[in-house]
Structure 1
Amino acid sequence: MNIVLWIIAGLLAAVFTATAVMKLSQPKEKLAAAGQAWTEDFSPGMIKLIGALELLAAVGLILPPLVGVAPVLVPLAATGLVLTMIGAAVVHARRREYSSIGVNMVLLILAAVLAWGRFGPYPF
């Protein structure tokens, strides 16, 4: 199970690093034009904040156990991503972007499994 949790952590870290870099490096208008219409409801600063938090979570999923410092950050980062995906699903539901909610739920479930595993029976 430890290998499965590492794979989940790696997948989540890769996805959230990619989305965070996109949010941090692209202007709001370019994100909206690229199909992320939800950005219309948020200020540029809020979009950058979301990107920064996603990047911190991605780093928190991988780095602490690799360097052997504060591995409890892994389930905490995963829990933060669960909350982020709940918020994302709510935003998409309000905007009637139901197809996007499926992706949010898959990421939420993966993050929840990781949080459960690292808080519970498979800590570092």
Structure 2
Amino acid sequence: MADAPDKLRVDKWLWHARFFKTRSIAAKLVSAGKLRVNGQPIAKPAYTVSPEDVLTFPQARDVRVVKVIAMGERRGPALEAQALYEDLAPPEPRGAEPQAPRYDGGGRPTKKDRRAWQQTRSDMVE
């Protein structure tokens, strides 16, 4: 097999390192200008990265800061992908996700509630 290249397109590297599910999602992130390489904003997915470059980009609700260690030949298993980078700012563990609002018994009245309300109103009118 051939050795890994010295440089690789940034969208391809992000995909190899398993930060994004598809290469096109990685390319859209880069095209939107949300990626920084060594502190410089990058807007072209064809920008090449090499070892020792530091990438900063948003992923889900976190901002990831990773240092490129190696170039990958393929999108392999997770352990192989984790060997491609060093995480400089690992995401902080979060507490439990906020729950969806629950029904508190208020809101629209039931048919029984409406009839009881109408009964009290008819008693008042007479």
The structure that is strand-richer by fraction is: 2
Higher relative contact order (CA 8 A, sep 6+): 1
The TM-score with structure 1 as length reference comes to 0.25
The TM-score with structure 2 as length reference comes to 0.25
When Rg is computed on C-alpha atoms for both structures, the one with the higher figure is: 2
The structure that is helix-richer by fraction is: 1
